[in-house]
């Protein structure tokens, strides 16, 4: 049903001759729009080429190969390109392309990796008319191609030379390396001094939506110890409740205290409990031993926490720690947090950039663009630059459906549309 509805929507997004809104475009802007249309065939060919290169995050050679293919495109546009080696954070690395100019600095963000590793059966680009299926086609090789298509159009129309643009395409967005501060150092460094940042993720697949706020993510791990013994003595003074009951109390109290707070979620994804527990955090799996007539001596729970602001994160963590500290008799527990992606909190600057993007869409004869609820927007690389850049917008990449699955499909009609929107906003931001 969703695919059918989106197909109808996308069909209505094609610019029709004589649309009154296009009168808002200057002759300069019309030249950029025409250049996008002229460059679209080459962009489609590039999209097919990079989708057919496997770049699962841990296929380091494949990530580098996609980076090399795109690096050549930036070189041809006159950018200075650099490959930032990822050995320090156990990943392939990042592509950084810079183009100095007198106008305000813009930061464009993409990523080279996909969730489909080298052993995945989903490896090939397949096109059927205006739709194409392939690993990472919308998340986010299509967004990378949109960046290049927009920049080529700006160059063709004679505007790129004066523009100050930095492009960062990370090689480990789908599975970031550690330590995170090192893995995102190049991105944060590139953000400094930027007037605005544009992220080219696919978002929710709706071409009338963009993202200006994202929740951050933090993983947590709860370890509970109990006193083992014969189950006939459970809850008694010698054995107490056991580890599984204590872990269950903690989780249920999390739910009671925190589940009604807006934008906050916390999810236990792994729960192991018994007489003996071995947990493999890297593989998110474990082994358990125990018997029905023995009180559990150990429990391990692993999950994630998502919040919209740093303050909301800190308050939630304190609440969770306080709950953990109130142990049942003969049990003890500890909770630890491993910060992941920071939040991209709502801001007036982000709202302002959305207004500009929406106006560009209307001026092009496309529908209005509104913000996706942060509850429906996952974590992404743009969140790392929150606080460094006054205006940020994301999810303006190639649209489609079923990302992160073997059905990942792009609507190719949105490729030139998104490039026109992006190019027009970049042009207006530089004035």
pLDDT one-digit tens code per residue, 38-57: 999 999 999 999 999 999 99
Q: Are residues 86 and 166 in the same domain?
A: yes
Could you tell me if residue 327 is inside a domain? yes
**Res 23: pLDDT:** 59
pLDDT tens for the chain, 431 residues long, are 444 444 444 444 443 333 334 558 999 999 999 999 999 999 999 999 999 999 999 999 999 999 999 999 999 999 999 999 999 999 999 999 999 999 999 999 999 999 999 999 999 999 999 999 999 999 999 999 999 999 999 999 999 999 999 999 999 999 999 999 999 999 999 999 999 999 999 999 999 999 999 999 999 999 999 999 999 999 999 999 999 999 999 999 999 999 999 999 999 999 999 999 999 987 888 999 999 999 999 999 999 999 999 999 999 999 999 999 999 999 999 999 998 899 999 999 999 999 999 999 999 999 999 999 999 888 899 999 999 999 999 999 999 999 999 999 999 999 999 999 999 999 999 98
Tell me, letter by letter, the H, E, C secondary structure of the chain: CHHHHHHHHHHCCCCCCCCHHHHHCCHHHHHHHHHHHHHHHHHHHHHHHHHCCCCECCCHHHHHHHHHHHHHHHHHCCCEEEEEECHHHCCCEEEEEEECCCCCEEEEEEECCECCCCCCCCCCCEEECCEEECCCHHHHHHHHHHHHHHHHHHHHCCCHHHCEEEEEEECCCCCCCCCHHHHCHHHHHHHCCCCEEEECCCCCCCCCEEECCECEEEEEEEEEECCCEEHHHCCCCCCCCCHHHHHHHHHHHHHHHHCCCCCCEEEEEEEEEECEEEEECCCCEEEEECCCCEECCEEEEEEEEEECCHHHHHHHHHHHHHHHHCCCCCCEEEEEEEECCCCECCCHHHHHHHHHHHHHHHHCCCCCCEECCHHHCCCCHHHHHECCECCEEECCCCCEECCCCCCCEEECCHHHHHHHHHHHHHHHHCC
Could you tell me if residue 60 is inside a domain? yes
Report field, pTM of the whole predicted structure over 0.75: yes
Could you tell me if residue 229 is inside a domain? yes
Listed residues 322, 339, 356: the one ending a domain: 339
Q: How far is CA 9 from the centre of its chain?
A: 24
A 10 A CB-CB count for 218 gives: 20
**Cβ contacts of residue 385 below 8 Å, gap of 6+?**
107, 109, 187, 188, 191, 194, 197, 392
Contact 195, 350 (CB under 8 A): no
**Res 283: pLDDT:** 80
Q: Are residues 166 and 137 in the same domain?
A: yes
Could you tell me if residue 12 is inside a domain? no
Q: Are residues 209 and 226 in the same domain?
A: no
Listed residues 288, 309, 339: the one ending a domain: 339
Distances, alpha carbon 124 to alpha carbons 91, 92, 399, in Å: 23, 22, 18
Q: Are residues 164 and 273 in the same domain?
A: no
Q: Are residues 319 and 369 in the same domain?
A: no
Number of domains in the chain: 2
Could you tell me if residue 80 is inside a domain? yes
**Res 416: pLDDT:** 98
Could you tell me if residue 400 is inside a domain? yes
Q: Are residues 230 and 332 in the same domain?
A: yes
Q: Are residues 36 and 182 in the same domain?
A: yes
**Res 393: pLDDT:** 98
Rounded to 10 deg, the angle between the 142-156 and 414-429 helix axes is: 50
The CATH number for 259's domain is 3.30.70.360
Question: Long-range contacts of range 29-32, CB-CB < 8 Å, 24 or more positions apart?
Answer: 29/363, 29/424, 29/427, 31/156, 31/157, 31/158, 32/153, 32/154, 32/156, 32/157, 32/159, 32/420, 32/423, 32/424, 32/427
Domain interval for residue 335: 216-339
Q: For 131-141, b where at least 16 C-beta lie within 10 A, e where not — what string?
A: bbbbbbbbbbb
Q: Are residues 271 and 403 in the same domain?
A: no
Listed residues 323, 339, 355: the one ending a domain: 339
Q: Are residues 55 and 138 in the same domain?
A: yes
Q: Are residues 329 and 411 in the same domain?
A: no
Q: Are residues 237 and 203 in the same domain?
A: no
Q: Are residues 180 and 226 in the same domain?
A: no
Tens of pLDDT, residue by residue over 65-83, are 999 999 999 999 999 999 9
Lookup result for tokens 């191609």: 145
30: which strand partners? none
The CATH number for 166's domain is 3.40.630.10
**Res 378: pLDDT:** 82
């Amino acid at each position: 049903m969703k695919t059918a509805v989106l197909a109808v929507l996308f069909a209505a997004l094609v610019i029709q001759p004589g649309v009154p809104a296009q009168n808002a475009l200057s002759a300069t802007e019309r030249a950029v729009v025409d250049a996008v249309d002229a460059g679209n065939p080459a962009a489609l060919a590039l999209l097919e080429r990079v989708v057919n290169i496997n770049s699962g995050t841990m296929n380091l050679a494949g990530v580098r190969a996609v980076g090399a293919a795109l690096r050549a495109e930036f070189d041809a546009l006159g950018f200075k390109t650099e490959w930032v080696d990822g050995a320090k954070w156990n990943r392939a690395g990042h592509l950084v392309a810079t183009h100095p100019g007198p106008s305000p600095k813009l930061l464009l963000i993409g990523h080279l990796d996909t969730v489909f590793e080298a052993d995945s059966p989903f490896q090939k680009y397949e096109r059927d008319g205006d739709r194409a299926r392939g690993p990472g086609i919308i998340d986010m090789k299509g967004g990378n191609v949109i960046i290049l298509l927009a920049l080529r159009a700006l160059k063709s129309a004679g505007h790129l030379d004066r523009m100050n643009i930095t492009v960062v395409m990370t090689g480990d967005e789908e599975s970031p390396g550690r330590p995170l501060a090192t893995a995102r150092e190049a991105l944060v460094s590139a953000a400094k001094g930027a007037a605005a940042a544009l992220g080219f993720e696919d978002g929710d697949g709706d071409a009338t939506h963009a993202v200006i706020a994202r929740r951050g993510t933090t993983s947590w791990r709860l370890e509970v110890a109990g006193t083992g013994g014969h189950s006939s003595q459970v809850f008694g003074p010698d054995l107490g409740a056991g580890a599984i009951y204590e872990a269950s109390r903690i989780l249920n109290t999390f739910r009671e205290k925190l589940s009604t707070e807006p934008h906050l979620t916390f999810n236990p994804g792994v729960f192991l409990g018994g007489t003996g527990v071995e947990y493999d955090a890297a593989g998110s799996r474990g082994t358990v031993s125990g018997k029905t007539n023995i009180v559990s001596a150990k429990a391990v729970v692993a999950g994630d926490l998502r919040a919209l602001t740093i303050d909301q994160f800190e308050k939630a963590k304190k609440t969770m720690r306080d709950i953990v500290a109130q142990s049942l008799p003969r049990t003890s527990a500890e909770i630890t947090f491993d910060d992941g992606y920071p939040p991209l909190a709502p801001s007036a600057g982000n709202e302002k950039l959305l207004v500009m993007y929406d106006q560009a869409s209307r001026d092009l004869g496309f529908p209005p663009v509104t913000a996706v609820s942060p509850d429906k927007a996952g974590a992404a690389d743009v969140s790392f630059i929150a606080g460094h850049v006054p205006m940020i917008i994301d999810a303006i990449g190639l649209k489609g459906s079923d990302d992160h699955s073997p059905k990942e499909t792009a609507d190719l009609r949105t490729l030139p549309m998104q490039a026109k929107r992006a190019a027009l906003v970049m042009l207006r931001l530089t004035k």
